Amino acid sequence: MRTSLNGSRSEPGAVAYARATVDLASRDVRIEDVPCRNLEDVLGGFGRSFQILAERTITHAFTPENPLIVNTGVLTASNVTTGLRTYFSAYSPLKVSNKGLPAAMWSAGSCKFGPKLKWTGLDEVILEGRADAPVYLVIRHSEQGPQISFEPADDLLGLTCHEKIMWLKNRYADAHFAAIGPAGEHYEDCYMASVALSTENQLRSGDDKCRWAGRGGMGAIMGYKRVLAIVAQAPDKIAKLKPEIRDINKAVTSGPGSRKFREKDKGGLGGTWSNYEPLEKFHFVPQNNFRPAGDGKPELMFRDNVQPDFFVKAESCFRCGINCHKNVYEKNADGTRGAFLAKFDYEPVNLLSTNLGMHDPRKAAALIALVDRLGMDNISLGTTISYVMDYNERHPDAPILNGATFGDFDKARELVEGAGTGRFPEVGRGVKRLSESLGETGYAMHCKGLEFPAYQPDTNPGYPWAIAGGHMSMATYMAVALEGNTSLDYWATLITTRGLLFVRDDLLGLCKFAGVTHDHVVEALMQEAGIEVTSAELLAAVRRAFMRALWLERKQGYDRSDYTLPSEVFDRPNPNLGVPPFVTREFFSQLSDRVWAVFDPEIEEIARA
């Protein structure tokens, strides 16, 4: 990114970013500096990529006209802690309107691929068209500027994400990698394929420890394009640490914002896995396809109950002092660390164990590791499998697929393998399509085609307004547990104000787990990029980006019928939840009226622009 601002008031046009447009069919590569049109362009991430997607008319995700945009945020590769994000954006095969049109989607992943990409000299790569044979792309830094070459990928076919990355690691020094797994190669039957990003720890240890751009099937788009991997090769270009940034980093890594994700012996609460405990106080931990039983079984997956039998080590992304990765290893007889098993976060642990009726950490680790090897989004997959099990419990005389029911680990594993290898397209294409084909949509836990994360829909009427997945793009998913407020006023205000601002870091290149304050972001933009904005300007840009995403949904046929919850939330209230049911049809209808009354004029303004 090149800026001629030099600390003066921000004019987006004075900032240009470096973009490579790669035509996969002709192998033409165009590299150019692109002047920014607005602050969203400057900030990057989905703020920029969605403006590019808005210029396209796409009716099917798997078409050459659907670009895959790989970009970074303005603070990616900066000295700000967690400035490591890479974004993958495209029209999604998974997120679709009821009219059948694909929706714009982004997915973010951390660790060093994003910085390496930026250090090649590029802020953004747009993959156009489709290669005529499997390839991987090599993006290199050179004295003449970034260079991009195509390499045949026959040797990568069929390898897991980790195997692809390690194969590339042995051929490209000083590089990091983005790769798809078998699921992405079977994109036609697995829309929930993800993109794996290599980590320093993985390359050093040889353990399968990728980070993920998981949601929305960006790995399926990459698979369609026959790009099996991307290599970003460049020397590290770490700038001298300014005292102002050092102070911000100290505040981030030792302040309250990251306590949740730090270890207990580092003044933290132990990571996302520890969400089990506070949620279980309210019986909000999903069980058996989002139907908590209030039977205490989720406690079996509490970290304090799991840890004695394993070796749990907190590890981190590149240069991040938060150490949010809670990696679970075998524990040797002498108490030392054994073989790596899986990374335990709340989402995969819940959706691949408790929500499937299983309460065994070893089985959870096995499924998480298998999903990672095949390269799928564990949220979409886990939630689709829980639907299959629920359906089979309801139809014991006419089960589908392999007849899996809750608690059946072997059949769950078979469904995972089948989804990731194209054998069970009913699963791989997600719960929206599966439930519609079966005519039983009422307990299909998704909104707009994106499966729910591990938070109950009957406690989150904000799900329908999430633009890129139920929790990371609308901060309403734990509001009931936090505040217990179920009033219409509260929810309408939450969704239309604070909830949507959760996507701020999906422009900037930062990780949400860092909890960087708005003031610190403003300071970091000044110090690291020479961009002077106020907090109000920053948040206005985030809000515009959010509204643009809603406008893009509308452009793809979304109407009010898409913005709803599974009907059983309304029709079959769960008496086991720790709060009285409040998401009734009447409540939700009134909430929709209130939300759209705020959003509609802003969306129309975006449309006019």
Does 259 engage in binding with another protein (CB under 8 A)? Answer: yes
Size of the site for another protein (CB under 8 A): 43
Q: Which is nearer to another protein, 101 or 367 (CB)?
A: 367
Does 255 engage in binding with another protein (CB under 8 A)? Answer: yes
Does 315 engage in binding with another protein (CB under 8 A)? Answer: no
Which one among 217, 515, 533, 549 touches another protein, defined by CB under 8 A? 515
Which one among 67, 115, 257, 382 touches another protein, defined by CB under 8 A? 257
Does 301 engage in binding with another protein (CB under 8 A)? Answer: no
For 566-609, what is the HEC assignment?
A: CHHHHHCCCCCCCCCCCCCHHHHHHHHHHHHHHHHHHHHHHHHC
Cβ proximity of 447 and 463 under 8 Å: yes
- What is the rounded CA–CA span in Å between residue 451 and residue 460? 14
Least CB distance to another protein at residue 254 (A): 8
- Say what the alpha-carbon torsion angle 231, 235, 236, 237 is, to the nearest 10 degrees: -120
Does 457 engage in binding with another protein (CB under 8 A)? Answer: no
Alpha helices in 255-377 (DSSP H): 276-281, 303-306, 346-351, 361-374
Does 513 engage in binding with another protein (CB under 8 A)? Answer: yes
Q: Which is nearer to another protein, 29 or 598 (CB)?
A: 598
Does 453 engage in binding with another protein (CB under 8 A)? Answer: yes
Residue at 27: amino acid letter: R
- What is the rounded CA–CA span in Å between residue 228 and residue 223? 6
Q: How far is CA 562 from CA 343, 497, 556, in A?
A: 34, 21, 11
- What is the rounded CA–CA span in Å between residue 499 and residue 476? 6
Which one among 248, 454, 508, 550 touches another protein, defined by CB under 8 A? 454
Does 327 engage in binding with another protein (CB under 8 A)? Answer: no
Does 215 engage in binding with another protein (CB under 8 A)? Answer: no
Q: Which is nearer to another protein, 26 or 485 (CB)?
A: 485
Specify which residues 231 forms β-bridges with: 138, 177
Which one among 519, 571, 593, 600 touches another protein, defined by CB under 8 A? 519
Does 269 engage in binding with another protein (CB under 8 A)? Answer: yes
Q: Which is nearer to another protein, 448 or 520 (CB)?
A: 520
- What is the rounded CA–CA span in Å between residue 299 and residue 148? 50
- What is the rounded CA–CA span in Å between residue 312 and residue 270? 11
Does 535 engage in binding with another protein (CB under 8 A)? Answer: yes
Residue at 454: amino acid letter: A
Does 292 engage in binding with another protein (CB under 8 A)? Answer: no
Which one among 13, 35, 267, 442 touches another protein, defined by CB under 8 A? 267
Q: Which is nearer to another protein, 184 or 270 (CB)?
A: 270
Least CB distance to another protein at residue 481 (A): 6
Whats the size of the chain, residue-wise? 609
Cβ proximity of 205 and 445 under 8 Å: no
Least CB distance to another protein at residue 506 (A): 14
Does 482 engage in binding with another protein (CB under 8 A)? Answer: yes
Does 198 engage in binding with another protein (CB under 8 A)? Answer: no
- Using DSSP's 3-state secondary structure scheme, residue 538 falls into helix
Cβ proximity of 389 and 288 under 8 Å: yes
- What is the rounded CA–CA span in Å between residue 272 and residue 340? 19
Does 471 engage in binding with another protein (CB under 8 A)? Answer: yes
- What is the rounded CA–CA span in Å between residue 205 and residue 340? 10
Does 486 engage in binding with another protein (CB under 8 A)? Answer: no
Report, in this order, helix, strand and coil percent for the chain, each rounded to 5. 45, 20, 40
Does 458 engage in binding with another protein (CB under 8 A)? Answer: no
Task: List the x/- string, 337-356, binding to another protein by CB under 8 A.
Answer: --------xxx---------
**Residues making contact with another protein (CB under 8 A):** 254-257, 259-261, 264, 267, 269, 271-272, 274-275, 277-279, 281, 324, 345-347, 453-455, 471-472, 477-478, 481-485, 498, 501, 512-513, 515, 517-519, 535
